[in-house]
Structure formats: C-alpha cells, structure tokens
Amino acid sequence: MDEKRVSVAVIKRLPRYYRFLGDLLDNNINRISSKELSKKMNITASQIRQDLNNFGCFGLQGYGYNVPNLYKEIQKILGLEEEHNMILVGVGNIGRALAQYKSFEKRGFRFVGVFDKNPDLIGKELGNNKIRDINDLSKFLVDTEVNIAVIAVPRNSASKIVEILAINGVKGIWNFSNAELDIPKSMFCENVYLTDSLMTLTYRLHEDEILKKYS
Amino acid sequence: MDEKRVSVAVIKRLPRYYRFLGDLLDNNINRISSKELSKKMNITASQIRQDLNNFGCFGLQGYGYNVPNLYKEIQKILGLEEEHNMILVGVGNIGRALAQYKSFEKRGFRFVGVFDKNPDLIGKELGNNKIRDINDLSKFLVDTEVNIAVIAVPRNSASKIVEILAINGVKGIWNFSNAELDIPKSMFCENVYLTDSLMTLTYRLHEDEILKKYS
DNA sequence: TAGATTGTTAATCGATTAACAATC
DNA sequence: TAGATTGTTAATCGATTAACAATC
C-alpha cells in the first residue's frame, strides 16, 4: 500500500538541485548531463541520477537533461506549484524578519495571519498584516485555510500552540523556536535550530585542537 | 598526523545532546544512563555512546553519566567556552534579527561590528553597534579580531565579501545568503538556507501525492 | 551507425545498531 | 558480591559510488 519512502538525504538535496538548475536557466543553458552538473555541484553523477530516479525518468539517453523541464519537475516535486497559506506565531526578531521577507510572495508563500500575545504589538502592522491576538488563533483557523504555521515564540510557549494548530488541521510547522516539538503523526515539522547551526560552526573552528586533546 | 575526522552526522547531533542535557540540568537531574537519555531523545543508546566516545570516556560503568560533567564536556567540545567575536554583513531583515538576538550575548557570541552598503543605514544604531560602511570592512578587520562573519547580503554580493574576509584571516562564516560560497580550505562555512528548509517542508506536505504519481 | 549518456543493477563504503566483555 | 551500564568490537543496514546494458 505504502510507497517506499524517499530518504531524508535525498529530499534535502532536492532544493539544492533546484537552485543550481535555476542558475542554469538564468544563464540560458538548456541542456545538461549528470556529469556536467555533478562537476558544478561537487557531487557524483551517480548520485544525481539515483536521486532523480526516485521520482521519475527525467533524462534522455545520449542527451542528458533538459534544464527547463527538469527545473519544472523538481518544482512540482517540492510542491512549489501550489499556493501556501502561512501564519506567523510570535512577532519577535526572527518572526518579524520572516514576515517581511520579500521572496516568499514570489514563490507562492503568503502570510495570511500574524499573531502575538504582547498587547503592545497587537493591532500594529507587519508586512501586509495586522498583528492579531494569539488568543484569537483558534477562531482564525476555523475561518481561514492555513497550510504552514511559522513558530517563532519562546521555547516554552511552543507546545501549546502546536496543540491549537493540530486541533484545527494545520499540517505543516516551520519551527524557529528552540523547542523539540511533539507533533502528531498527521503533521510535519521542519526545524530551524539557529543556535545548533552556530554551534557546529564553533565546533569546526577549534576542531583540530579538540581532536588532539581527546586522541 | 591527522586525527581521524569525526563525521558530520555526529557533529550535528552534538548541539542536540547539549540542549537535552541543559534541560536535565534545569530539572536538577544529576545522573543519566545512555538508555534513559536515548528514550528521551528518541535515538538508540548505542548511538549516544558511540557519539560521545569520539571525544572521550565521559561515563562510568554501572552508573551512567554525570549530567553537569557531560554538559560541561560537550560545551567544551562545541567551543562554547571561548568568546566569539562576530560581525554582521548585511543589515536586511534577517541580519537585523540576528543582530538583536539576545541569547547570543549570554553564550559568549558578541557582535563587534555591523556593516551595510546602504548610505541610509550607515551610522544608524543596531543593537550595540553603529552600522558601518561596507567599504570600511577591510580596514576594520585589520584592527579587530573577528572569528565569525555572519553573511546576510543578497546572493550576488556574497562572494566579494568572502574574499575580503579570507584576506583578513576571518575563519568562520555563518551564511544566510542563498549563495553557495566558494570558501578557501582554511575557512569554515555553515550555511542556513532558509528557503531550502521551507521547501523540504512543502515537499513533505504533499509527499504521498507525489509518490503515488511517480510510482 | 557511432558516441553519448541515461536508468538501473551490483559493489563498496560508512553509519547505525547489537552484543558483550570490562568494570564500577 | 551482584547488578548495572559503560566503552568497544562485531554485525547489520542503508546510502553512495561504480559499472554497464539500454537507448537516444
């Protein structure tokens, strides 16, 4: 019944393919072989072909791949042809930045609501939205279809919000809080742990020293 | 000569261990076995022990791990005991959010300089910093030790900045631009591709549909 | 047709998990 | 000492790479 799942590693590479193909398009390159692309992307041609063949046969033997076509296919695979209604929960530094990020609109991501609990913020403008009271979130979700909730609240407020989202059928969470959210199986959560990312950088900066010490 | 490198997978898990151990500390839990921790973190106990033993023997047979001690060790491994001087390049939405992010200070990350090319912004305050002219970056780096540069400029301005950083001996780059930076071997770059992250989420939201289609 | 490059199967490599002796 | 749990070696699993027949 279940299709065999595509591995996380593959899925994480898809947006990168999409970016490189976009660049090729911008440069009016119409055709590319896995070998050429592999050189540009610094991965093996085998991996490219294997990755793509999880989803279909997009190439042509003896020719390679048609760039506009492959670009379009990956776009479809990534779900970028659909419109995505998003809400923002938590108008802090990060939340504010995301709400004002211009490129989202272009790609069909639209903030349809913005929420915070701070009375000083409620009613103020943010991007195209008036900031709403977080207490009205549940009510709002009844009337408006929302695909993705961007969570940018402090660590300990996050789980309560997930509950509300779950009850109201929001399927996707883009989590910028530092919390490890407990998500029902019907939902999907993509975490952006900024401090984790920064820490892996500081690790690398003194890796040699550390490895010498513990060896 | 070279120590055997620790795999990326392990390094990416370290900050997560650090977070969980921090929680345990907050709850005054002093001792934990790999088995208990594995249950909390939803990974295998084997993996925890394997991961940690890349860096040393932090446990005690028959007892488990001392939480404060292990926390401290991971802190050291991640390089969090050192102070980190950062600069921000690019005062857009994301840059501004990062510069104002409070938690950095607490953990020893300090913005010592903030740069942009926009004359309207130069001279204005951002956090504890006056926004400087990007043209003064090179000069600034001669006088000030900088460990990490946060790059939050548009895609096509990024590579020029990397050049300047490289010449002036900045070792770490935390890249928020959409560009794939070409980095000299002496430097380390941690990328935060926000749109990539969002795309993997939209992929998941319609994965079943896509797999059915291509199966 | 000859040359190129795919899609796909098979081989290799590395990471995760299991098992267990060492030892607190 | 008996029980628990580590550190570490061995087995398994999955992902990456290589090879090649199919085919444009």
pLDDT tens for B157-196 read 999 999 999 999 999 999 999 999 999 999 999 999 999 9
pLDDT tens for B53-106 read 999 999 999 999 999 999 999 999 999 999 999 999 999 999 999 999 988 888
Nearest to B59 by CA among B26, B29, B34, B30: B34
Is beta strand B188-191 parallel, antiparallel or unpaired with respect to B172-175? parallel
The answer to whether A174 contacts B96, with C-beta atoms less than 8 Å apart, is no
Out of A14, A19, A205, the one facing B79 most closely (by C-beta) is A205
Structure pTM?
Answer: 0.96
How many whole angstroms separate alpha carbon A163 and alpha carbon A183? 9
The answer to whether B196 contacts A15, with C-beta atoms less than 8 Å apart, is yes
In three-state secondary structure terms, A77 is helix
Out of B100, B172, B195, the one facing A201 most closely (by C-beta) is B172
Backbone angles phi, psi at A145, to 5 degrees: -80, 125
Mean pLDDT, residues A29-33 taken together: 98
pLDDT tens for B91-144 read 999 999 999 998 888 899 999 999 999 999 999 999 999 999 999 999 999 999
Residues 88-127 of B with CB within 7 A of strand C: none
Residue with tokens 């970056």: B137
How many whole angstroms separate alpha carbon A78 and alpha carbon B206? 8
